[in-house]
Chain A
């Protein structure tokens, strides 16, 4: 028997789910309508070029995964072997930065460092090879995913119980047997999940490929969708590409969930546990080299971004009305997206908790939807949603006029899984403490929000908000489709400046954008851990 009293939290969750369904459903409606309208066109889009795009998409993702994950195994192991050394905390902190850095900023950093006009080329001279193409894409993907994989592996190594280390040290295990018997089993267990996550991120990577791909030879499905809509204006081809992209990501995610991977990544820093095995001299030297190399690889593009950004005429940029306008637009859209994202996330979190509380026995479909369903929005890349709506709306209205709505809603939904991760543990813990008490004392609705939920949740909410805002500020996917001269965000303006070869301007803007996003994520992190005991 269900309790007759209805819970507003469940209603909120249903509303949020409906909004998300509308967003994704609308995109699919646009695709289906276009496909049905021009079926032969969509079918004829299956050509050699398409085959090449699919093959390249998979190939670059596989290579990126290999180059990120294998070194990460050893870097993580090295970091775990040396739980205490000067700068370790800094390295781990630095390894969280790529998660916050907009892809366009990182891509520019890669160019500034390794490009034809970059710092290395200045040393290497005329023979320095061009970075555009596969090598540039790989460099950027490894820059993003090596630190991510390292942190995930380090987390896995952190799950080895201290007693096992004590035992290993008592039994006199050296580095090799300890690796084989203690470390490798946990690493191997997390390997499929981590590799799958990285593969997924690389297969849906848009900005990096757009900027560093440098031509039709190195194009992925996402970029091809964008080109089909914005340049060739070939909706039929866009439909085919989108359907392929969805099928591809869906297959990957299906495989991922089989492997038990965590599709949303993580912003947490693992703590250093006590270790009872001390590394020998050779091993220490080897580990030190490994860690320094990884550090240089990750810090390099960031340093290049800062250096070339400072080289730009920042004061002139700040005075430009286009820059000001784009900054304002970015800030406004980012704020709205973050607000919407937090509201949607909170609705789902509350509904899930309320449903779990009234549950007897099995979980309902609705509870599943509010729980894992939220993570599955990542299956549908922003470009796909954007493309669907683009096709749906192009016949009824000016697609560029709805740019703000698209940017806000798509970014809000895309940031949701991250916001949920930042907020749900705190909400569930607070609910665990307060639920009965509130029911008993009749504290509900506005009173509950004011007296109970807000005071105990404002920090995690702020964390989710800052994180969502950073993600949407740096996004180039949706705005690349819908952007125009009248609606420009900072990443869009950056792209435009690059396109017109105003490299210094682009570097300056990248520095600005990167700094803002980084500040937001640092704030999110600080808010998240700041709960004083």
Chain B
């Protein structure tokens, strides 16, 4: 991407249907431009499938995927204006940190001086300055995900897809990473679709919420509405309505 400060664009799934051969998924939903939307739902509800459809790893059976109003259905994953960070395997194990980030600029690693400067800047932004030459196995799990985020920075696409990228990290490390994402989002204002299992994650950086159930979008709204106890019934059941439930029991006792 050329411009350094590209604003986020809206992502829309227009009656997108998809199936792995079993129960079909049907997504009809819009993600607002430049916002962080947390996507939650039980295992198998279609969270990752939704991201894969946006990224182009899966092809819808019918319907359209629109990014910034343009139908991207025919574009290859690399041609879409999105970056994605996976839970693991974001890096090539045999390539240094620098090269892994550099692939975000050129898939042949033909890097210009400007590219190298951008890579150095991105690495220092995510707190990895001085570790350019390391191999992924010489990094901690959190650092590896930081490298992936550095690559997101040099790619500079208007949409960022996060598929539970911090699920295997400990709580405080995860908070650090979430703050890093929030910080990057404040600078770049890209549209972020963030799949997570952790309500705290969604609460911490999510502005909007999309709740999936059984391959459908069951509810949408602002994160504030979802978490103040007035959210949809299915969502409250999913997160266990922890505080509310225990209070009810407590009341019955008295």
Contacts and interface: CB of A to CB of B under 8 A. Distances in A.
B215 interface: no
B86 interface: yes
A261 interface: no
A interface SS class: helix
Interface in A345-392: 360-362
Given A434-B89, A451-B95, A452-B92, A439 B56 contact: yes
B84 interface: yes
Contact of A433 (B19, B20, B56, B89): B89
Nearest to A454: B94
B93 A436 contact: no
B205 to A, nearest CB: 22
Contacts of A447: 107-109
B61 interface: yes
Contacts of A434: 89, 92
A361 B21 contact: yes
Given A434-B89, A451-B95, A440 B84 contact: yes
A433 B109 CA distance: 19
B94 A443 contact: no
Given A360-B20, A439-B78, A440-B78, A1 B61 contact: yes
Interface residues of A, number: 24
Interface string A435-446: 011011111100
B94 A442 contact: no
A360 B49 CA distance: 13
Interface string B9-21: 0000000000111
Q: How large is the interface on B (under 10, 10 to 19, 20 to 34, 35 or more residues)?
A: 20 to 34
Contacts of B238: none
A444 B21 CA distance: 28
Contacts of B74: 4
A440 B83 contact: yes
A440 B92 contact: no
Contact of A437 (B21, B60, B92): B92
Given A451-B92, A452-B92, A360 B19 contact: yes
A159 to B, nearest CB: 28
A437 B108 CA distance: 14
A434 to B, nearest CB: 7
B89 A437 contact: yes
Contact of A441 (B19, B94, B103): B103
Contacts of B94: 455-456
Contact of B107 (A3, A362, A442): A442
Contacts of B109: 447, 451
A533 B135 CA distance: 12
20 contacts: A1-B60, A3-B59, A4-B74, A5-B76, A360-B19, A433-B93, A434-B89, A434-B92, A436-B57, A436-B86, A439-B56, A439-B76, A440-B84, A442-B76, A443-B107, A447-B108, A451-B92, A455-B94, A455-B95, A533-B137
Interface of A: 1, 3-5, 360-362, 432-434, 436-437, 439-444, 447, 451-452, 455-456, 533
Given A5-B76, A434-B89, A442-B77, 5 more contacts: A360-B20, A439-B56, A439-B76, A439-B77, A442-B79
